[in-house]
Structure 1
Amino acid sequence: MSKPVVNIWGTPPGSERASVQSAPWDTKWDLRTATAGGTAWVFYRTPGEEVLRRPVILSDGFAPAGTDVDFLYDGLENGEFPFVSSLRQAGFDVILLGFADRSASVTDNAEIAIQCILRTIAEREGDAPLTVGGFSMGGLVTRYALAKMERQRMNHETATYLSYDTPHHGAWLPLGVQALAHFVKDNWGGEGKPLFNLYSDLINSPAARQMLRWHLATGSDATLDVAAGQDKERADFLAALERMGSWPQIPRLLGVANGTGTGAGNDIPADSPAMSASGPELAAQLRTQGEGSRTVARLQKGEGDEVSIDTTGFPAIDGAPGGLFPELLGGASNFGVAALLANLINSPDQAELTYNASTFVPTVSAVAVAGIDDHEALYSKVDLERSELHDFLCATDNEGHTVMTRELGGWIVAKLQEA
């Protein structure tokens, strides 16, 4: 059975912030381009020493609003494995890279990453090469940044690229959940109602459109074939990445996955009830994704016309090996957020929730082995020889997306020490 989902993304607007200690960074750099902004928080290997010698740049990932360094640090340091302090004890300086808007375009935030890399090189004493990477979409941001620097003949002086549960071949958010989020915003959202707008706005953000393999922009009737549903933002991003060479060619490419590499899924069955609501304002039935021709959502406002989301040829992806969708609102994950929205519209505790989360980044995507369209590939044992990475590690159990574990964090520290 899967481990609980751990949120290192920070608290979205409109939800209660948990109490965390301030991150003990030593200095920070403000970074800005014409289209994006960001901040780098520097943790020298010896606190207070203010000498940068062996830099490791780690980029924040996708989420609403800007990076909260205290939450980011807390998730990396105060869970099962103290990742930041372990890197420092191993002789590395840690630079946490955050963005003013984590849902902005990957290519825009990649310009902030390039600034951070150049600033790091300028501030470094000696000639020790850099390690550059990120968590979730942060891995895509830094992958694109390094590839673009090489394409433009810029010396990034990076020996190792690192991705942590990054959706190299796309991420998954159940289509019924996407449709319900838009349906809620269209019918109950608007100015002054942030919780009814938030999830829909997040799904329709540039970064989400680039990351999600299948994307719905509205809550109206839809029929999707497995080959369709790719947003133009994603197609454009993939084309831009290909123009940069797809991957940086100079560094060794390392990655980890929060999902298993054995083909063992997370025990969420295909084509099964996930969330239902039958209140006077909103009626909704969401089902997990199944193979063949399936109806994954039915939505209705009052006595209005029913909206149906139908799919053909999709894999049973909700239960596939991979990092589970992280918590967003009050501990709710994707189907859980759908239940929360239904309860806000109808009455508290009215919705019936069978499954809170599902796979967000399939293992085959995180370790760049195969596309996520193929059911057999999703549930097969991963093969290092088929990966676009030079080396990777998969988790023993399917766990929360970007959760920092001793297994994965310890492997990364050991690999960096080998260089």
Structure 2
Amino acid sequence: MATQGAARIDVERVLREEPVPAGRADQVAEALPKGMLFATPGTAGQARVPDTEWALTSAWSHRGRTATGSAAVHYGAGHDRLVRPMIIADGFDHGPSDLAALWNRLDAPYPPERNRLLGQLLAQGIDVVLLGFDVRHTHIQANAGVAAACVRRAVTERAGDAPLIAAGVGVGGLITRYALAEMETRGEDHQTATYLSYDSPHNGAWIPLILQQLAYFSQRLAPAGQAGLISSPAAQQTLWAWVESDRYSGPVATASPLRVEFLEDLRRAGWFPTRPRKLGVANGAADGTGRNVPPDKHAFEWSALEGVVAATVRTQPERGVNSLVGGMRAAPMWESRSYTSDVPAFDGAPGGTLPSYGMVADRLGAPIENRYRSACFVPSVSAVALRYDPVEWPVDLYTDITALSPEQSQLDDYHCDSDNSEHGKVTATLAEWILGQLAK
């Protein structure tokens, strides 16, 4: 087992493998969830029909492949062509972007006055260009090439010389960040005056390690793509802590060479673009107030086939050495317990939330208390790009950001939500700040 040091996970095998009774593997597979875990459904409803659409091919290849995507262009009030473009890149999920769903998500009416963010941008004379990707879960560098192609297209089709605004939701903010920085490194004028990230994991995001392992466990015993999202290149590049399988023991902050490579590529490109004004908003609170998800507590228990297959899930403990986070069993094939060391208690930290525990519990049919359904996904300290090492994370997750000087962020200005809201959700606090900044 581990000793104090770098953040890691250790898996203890507690069942000696026995001959599998006839039909047992099929029974286990039937009891496990089918289909991809952690994928989120699109937002239903009638979306605004775009004025025009673009098919996009990446401005560069990555690892020998060229990514593709598309954009839905909505002209601002009084415009019959592109005049003041604002590109908003879609975030992380599996498969192709659904730009209609992205519109519905960003233009959902928010209380108290039921205003709509995209509608207000259009009324201000801003042309909204929703940018999507044919493979959202591929390498960030690849989709950044699609974002660069979108910037080029906007510059070419724009009437006049109004500077661009380049934004992104979640990982979409990392994509546009990298695209602009890479374009600058290549000596290309992106003509972008403002960069905006919306709850983007500049220093990494969090999905509980025990839930990642459960996805791999399900996929190994009942192959149906359950771990397809969590094992994808974009997940590996984005998550601060990641594991490659349900059996993996070792460091978690550098477990994926893809994350190491992405951070190196960002540094080579200048880390952030230097020309635009850099803005960011966080769905998490700024004052250090977290969610009511205590560390090292039982989140849910699941079993089927009279206990033949089972899982125990606990919330992430606060650092420590060899702290139990849960276990899983499929007798007589496998039983294990998982322990983490020096991993912070991310679940209850201030930040944009994701119903990570709830999603998995629901797929298993396991009861779970409401307080444990959602946990921190993008910590506030990451979304506002505080200056700290993105691998070592020598930062207090409960930092009172309101007490910090502006120089402690790598953004020129930022704003946090009044409470810890769902990742990527449009709230009055964030929408009004964005509209005020873009009106300057």
Query: Quick check: TM above 0.5?
Result: yes
Give the alignment partner of residue 266 of structure 2, picking from 208, 217, 241.
Answer: 241
Q: Percent identity?
A: 39
RMSD: 2.1
Give the alignment partner of residue 315 of structure 1, picking from 337, 344, 348.
Answer: 344
Contact 1:320 1:359 in 2 (8 A): yes
Supply the distance in 2 between the matched residues of 1:130 and 1:312 (Cα, whole angstroms). 45
Distance 1:74 1:35, change over 3 A: same
Residue in 2 that maps onto 1:217: 244
Distance 1:103 1:225, change over 3 A: closer
Residue in 2 that maps onto 1:378: 397
Contact 1:224 1:312 in 2 (8 A): no
Residue in 2 that maps onto 1:324: 353
Deviations 1:12-31 (A, max 9, x none): 99998764113321101011
CA displacement at 1:314 relative to structure 2: 1.3
Supply the distance in 2 between the matched residues of 1:37 and 1:43 (Cα, whole angstroms). 20
Deviates more, 1:22-31 or 1:266-275: 22-31
Deviates more, 1:163-172 or 1:334-343: 334-343
Supply the distance in 1 between the matched residues of 2:348 and 2:389 (Cα, whole angstroms). 16
Deviates more, 1:401-410 or 1:79-88: 79-88
Residue in 1 that maps onto 2:438: 416
Distance 1:12 1:78, change over 3 A: farther
Q: What code does the residue aligned with 1:249 have?
A: T
Contact 1:278 1:351 in 2 (8 A): no
Residue in 2 that maps onto 1:329: none
Residue in 1 that maps onto 2:75: 44
Q: Which has the larger radius of gyration?
A: 2
Residue in 1 that maps onto 2:414: 392
Check if 1:407 corresponds to 2:438.
no
Q: What code does the residue aligned with 1:389 have?
A: L
Q: How many corresponding residue pairs?
A: 385
Deviates more, 1:275-284 or 1:292-301: 275-284
Contact 2:43 2:101 in 1 (8 A): no
Q: What code does the residue aligned with 2:177 have?
A: R
Map residues 14-413 of structure 1 onto 2, 5 A cutoff: 19-33=44-58, 35-46=66-77, 49-80=79-110, 81-189=115-223, 193=224, 197-198=225-226, 200-220=227-247, 222-224=248-250, 228-280=253-305, 281-291=308-318, 292-293=320-321, 294-325=323-354, 333-343=355-365, 350-352=366-368, 355-369=372-386, 370=388, 374=393, 377-382=396-401, 383=404, 384-413=406-435
Contact 2:281 2:415 in 1 (8 A): yes
- Structure 1 alignment gaps of length 5 or more: 1-10, 326-332, 344-349
Contact 1:167 1:365 in 2 (8 A): yes
Supply the distance in 2 between the matched residues of 1:237 and 1:287 (Cα, whole angstroms). 31
Q: What code does the residue aligned with 2:70 have?
A: T
Deviations 1:192-218 (A, max 9, x none): x4xxx24x1100101000000111111
CA displacement at 1:79 relative to structure 2: 3.0
Deviations 1:216-249 (A, max 9, x none): 11111x44557x4441100000001111011101
- Structure 2 alignment gaps of length 5 or more: 1-35, 59-64
Contact 1:167 1:211 in 2 (8 A): yes
